[in-house]
Amino acid sequence: MEEKIIDESQQGQSLVLEQRPENRRKLFIESYGCQMNFSDSEIVASILANEGFNTTNRLEDADLVLVNTCSIRDKAEQTVRKRLEKYNAVKRINPKMKVGVLGCMAERLKEKFLDEEKIVDMVVGPDAYKDLPNLLQEVEEGRDAVNVILSKDETYGDIAPVRLGGNGVTAFVSITRGCDNMCTFCVVPFTRGRERSRDPQSIIAEVNDLAEKGYQEITLLGQNVDSYLWYGGGLKKDYKHATEMQRATATGFAQLLEMVAEAQPHMRIRFSTSNPQDMTEDVLHSMSKYRNICNYIHLPVQSGSTRILKEMNRQHTREEYMHLIDRIREILPDCAISQDMITGFPTETEEDHKATLSLMEYVKYDFGFMFMYSERPGTLAARKLEDDVPLETKKRRLTEIVALQQQHSAYRTQQFLGKTVEVLIEKESKKSDLQWSGRTPQNTVAVFPKEHYKVGDFVNVHIEDCTTATLIGTAVGYSEKR
Ligand code: SAH
Ligand code: F3S
């Protein structure tokens, strides 16, 4: 069993907010995996809206079924295979229905999908979505269609995403695609290609558009946002050829953050994911300068052991990571920090595992996402290292770190007791239709009685009680600072 402290309710299907009355065809689109996949599905829905598709949440009604897939762990791929079986059952009743696989699994398995899974008509990698109209045409003419070409410059910066399944309050805006870090366990550099950054002007335009539509919070997305770099071109590895002028006017992540924060001073700005090896202090200073940038950093570390970090090709030691944590605490005293951890990476000893536990004690993370190591074909770890930690040991270590994280999460939520925090209302609480649910700037979920407030309001909430993951309180008025 793989454990993970995460809200999984989002996984799976999403329904579009706006429908075009003239569109006659029906698209059923589901997303699995990371936020980037959910964001990509919004780009796909936008491209297909121009091809006459509205989305539906009824699989049985669909002319086209698309599943945006994740390859990060074997379990993620198994989930998608189960979904394909389900589509197959529906397709037997409605043979005209077409099925397409998008995203990382499409990229990883390519044409193999068509042979292995007879049900699949179309395989489309993460950089090929603009080719969907052509691919659809091929499928309609009775041919299978594949495009898994990775691009060096595609950022979909010119496509206005159609917002799917959202709350109309919070949205993702992608700023980089791909990853150049080559962590040895990770399949992302293979499935999503080289790292490239999106033109800051197109990012600001998208943020302004979201603000006009009433959105109150955006999350800037990238596999590694800290390495965002725009110098007139977006491909990181070509920066060495940039002219002096391009270098002098380049935009880094801290500058981008400030541009976005200034463009929409009433919006909350978040970002994900930060990478310890690329995060610089100027980002922390930008965060402290603009109160609308939320004090929350997702800072995956994967392991507390320097030896394992080296095997993982993470470019920092345990001590360097701790130093970065110290700087965050100094510059942003109320900043929440969360982690990703992997247990049972090849050669991990009990001592390495203890080093992870002690690093967790040092940081006392607010939240965590914890996984057992899953060997991914083609990665450096799979080629060079034997997956030698027994499953039972991986599981036990995972249970230990999850239990410790739960203690720390409980400790963190308790620190809010008696305080008044700003909450952006996102939706009805899952537990009670009399309560709203939203998040604090630190990303902690807070629930409280609805009274006269509504979704999208910023309210001050007095915290009276808490669980491990949730703050419970009463609203005491609108947030003055807005
Ligand atoms: N930089 C990315 C990381 C994507 S993967 C981001 O935007 O978050 C998310 C997490 O999955 C990683 O931080 C890591 O903890 C976990 N992960 C990646 N590859 C894995 C593997 N082979 N086995 C287990 N967990 C893995
Ligand atoms: Fe994967 Fe490491 Fe990039 S975890 S996404 S290769 S930063």
C-alpha span between 129 and 162 (Å, rounded): 14
What is the 8-class DSSP label of residue 299?
Answer: -
Residue-number span of the structural domain to which 342 is assigned = 170-414
CATH number of residue 462's parent domain: 2.40.50.140
184/210 same-domain check: yes
Nearest CA to ligand 1 atom 8: 273
Q: Is the CB of 191 under 6 A from ligand 1?
A: no
Phi, psi for residue 140 in degrees, rounded to 5 = -65, -25
C-alpha span between 115 and 134 (Å, rounded): 21
> What confidence tens digit (pLDDT) does each residue in 121-163 have?
999 999 999 999 999 999 999 899 999 999 999 999 999 898 8
**DSSP alpha helices (H): ranges in 141-193?**
188-192
C-alpha span between 160 and 127 (Å, rounded): 16
Look at residue 240 and give its three-state secondary structure. Answer: helix
Residue 2 has pLDDT above 50, yes or no: no
Ligand 2 contacts (CB < 6 A) are 179, 181-183, 186, 188-189, 223-224, 275
Give residue 160 CA to ligand 2 midpoint distance, Å: 27
Does residue 3 fall inside a structural domain?
A: no
Give residue 181 CA to ligand 2 midpoint distance, Å: 6
216/359 same-domain check: yes
Phi, psi for residue 173 in degrees, rounded to 5 = -130, 115
Nearest CA to ligand 1 atom 2: 223
Q: Is the CB of 421 under 6 A from ligand 1?
A: no
C-alpha span between 180 and 237 (Å, rounded): 9
286/371 same-domain check: yes
Give residue 274 CA to ligand 1 midpoint distance, Å: 12
Q: Which of 37, 190, 223 to mutate to test the pocket of ligand 2 (most atoms within 8 A of CB)?
A: 223
316/408 same-domain check: yes
How far does Cα 101 stand from its chain's mean position? 19
Residue with tokens 């130093």: 323
C-alpha span between 51 and 453 (Å, rounded): 39
> What confidence tens digit (pLDDT) does each residue in 437-472 have?
999 999 999 999 999 999 999 999 999 999 999 999
Q: Is the CB of 303 under 6 A from ligand 1?
A: no
User: Which of 390, 414, 438 corresponds to the end of one domain?
Assistant: 414
> What confidence tens digit (pLDDT) does each residue in 188-224 have?
999 999 999 999 999 999 999 999 999 999 999 999 9
Give residue 261 CA to ligand 1 midpoint distance, Å: 28
Q: Is the CB of 344 under 6 A from ligand 1?
A: no
Please list, in sequence order, all residues whose beta carbon lies within 8 angstroms of the beta carbon of residue 115, skipping any fewer than 6 positions away: none
- State the Cα angle at 280 between 275 and 283, rounded to 5°: 100
81/32 same-domain check: yes
Phi, psi for residue 88 in degrees, rounded to 5 = -60, -40
- The two tokens of residue 258 are 């400030």
Residue 356 has pLDDT above 50, yes or no: yes
DSSP string, 181-239: ---TT--HHHHH-S-EE--HHHHHHHHHHHHHTT--EEEEE-TTGGG-EESSS-BGGGG
Residue 4 has pLDDT above 50, yes or no: no
Question: CB of 41 within 8 A of CB of 4?
Answer: no
